[in-house]
Amino acid sequence: MFPARLGSHLLVKMDRFKKNIEKLKSHCPGNKILLMVKADAYGHGLSEIVEFSFDQLEIKEFGVATLGEALTLRKNFPDKTFEVYVFSDLQFQHKELRKQYLENRLIPVLSHKDDLVEVLSDKSFSQMPLCLKFNTGMNRLGIHHEDTGEVIELLKSRGRNHVFHLMTHMANASMPMESNNRNIWQRERFSGIKEAFKKAGIEVEGTSLGNSGTVEQSYSLDETHIRPGLMAYGPTSLAPQHRDKGWWHGEIISELKTKVLNTFEVKKGDPLGYSSVPAPDSGVIAILALGYGDGISTHYSGAHLFHKGVKGKIVGRVCMDMTYVLFPKGTKIERGEPFVVWNEEVDKFMELAKETNTLPYELVIQLTARVPRIYQLV
């Protein structure tokens, strides 16, 4: 389908993304999706994923980490009416940058009392929808759950009786929701916060706490929204020993493809590349056109890759532009052949993350701009 001369690239298959989202929607019919697209949509391309999700999958709310990511979306799609939530690097201390939220209709996720005070004190923000994120046990960003009463008083004193979205974030969503203590506390604390707002007569329009691991365990579906990230792109975020707790079986939406630049036979002990690392065994070496300049870190040494069903091992030192893979003696692999590093198979993708000491979140994100993203539309 693609010319053989095409070098390393990440093929992003929108049909698989569509299938994942449809599966998610059918499991969570009562929830609106606030799709997390930070970090370049987890490495798949911010604008491409957002455009497709909005135009074809009826997703109308997106979550990014930084003001810069949010502004990119508004600049690229000035006429699209989706909402953009900015979760962490709000740049709120700078008055000029704060104005960008108003001018670009962005929603700051207020995760610190100081930011809330800024919004409440600035008259130009009086119509700004209030989105508050509480720290119920994640201990990263978030207004402390014990400050709920103070926040409610503050809102009331400024005549604000409506919160657009109230949220928290789960620290241990890869662990069982029903038995992990922190998961239990976090959910209880969030219920307490919602209850306190209700008692105080503050109307709360939207609520959410469900990231992938939570949703994969069918928790948090009683909130108005879910906030999936990883699962939409295919992988599971459940820890291996808890995978049986989840219903999610997604497809990896990307395929990392490269080319074999060279092949040669080696004997055990033959020196390979920089530092003359000895080949651990005799066999056939394939040199792949991917290195740490593409985001394939030196930590990949020792991990396994497959070619036409044959298992090879990354040996030697990954260099800037190339990687050595050792296959068993007699393996038929030729210079110029396309080579698939990963495809839709979740288990192999998860195993590669484990063997490279990374997270499934990182594998795609860490690919550099030198690896072009190519989109296969539905």
Ligand X SMILES: Cc1ncc(COP(=O)(O)O)c(C=O)c1O
Q: Of 342, 198, 178, 196, whose CA–CA distance to 256 is shortest?
A: 342
| Closest residue to ligand X, based on beta-carbon distance | 229
Q: Across the chain, how many H-helices and E-strands are there?
A: 11, 19
DSSP 9-57: EEEEEHHHHHHHHHHHHHH-TT-EEEEE-HHHHHHT-HHHHHHHHHHHH
> What is the length of the chain?
378
Contact flag: residue 36 with ligand X (CB under 6 A): yes
Is there binding between residue 285 and ligand X (CB under 6 A)? Answer: no
Q: How far is the CB of 301 from ligand X (least distance, A)?
A: 28
> Toward ligand X, which CB reaches closer, 213 or 312?
213
Pairing of strands 32-36, 271-272: unpaired
Span of 53-61, 224-232, 262-270, 303-311 interacting with ligand X by CB under 6 A: 224-232
> Which stretch in 2-10, 221-229, 245-253, 318-326 sits in contact with ligand X by CB under 6 A?
221-229
Using the rule CB under 6 A, is 229 a contact of ligand X? yes
- What are the phi and psi torsion angles at 282 (to 5°)? -80, 150
Q: Which of 212, 236, 263, 331 binds ligand X (CB under 6 A)?
A: 212
* Cβ proximity to ligand X, 108 vs 228, nearer residue: 228
Phi then psi for 221, rounded to 5 degrees?
Answer: -80, -5
In three-state secondary structure terms, 156 is: helix
| Minimum distance from residue 188 beta carbon to ligand X (Å) | 19
The reply on whether position 171 binds ligand X by CB under 6 A is no
Binding residues for ligand X restricted to 68-87, rule: CB under 6 A: 87
Min dist CB 213 to ligand X, Å, is 6
| Residue 228 touches ligand X, criterion: CB under 6 A | yes
227 makes contact with ligand X (CB under 6 A): yes
SS3 342: strand
Instruction: Give the pair of three-digit tokens for residue 222.
Output: 């009683």
Asked if 169 touches ligand X (CB under 6 A), the answer is yes
168 binds ligand X (CB under 6 A): no
Strand partners, 133: 167
- Interacting residues with ligand X (CB under 6 A): 36, 87, 169, 211-212, 227-231, 237
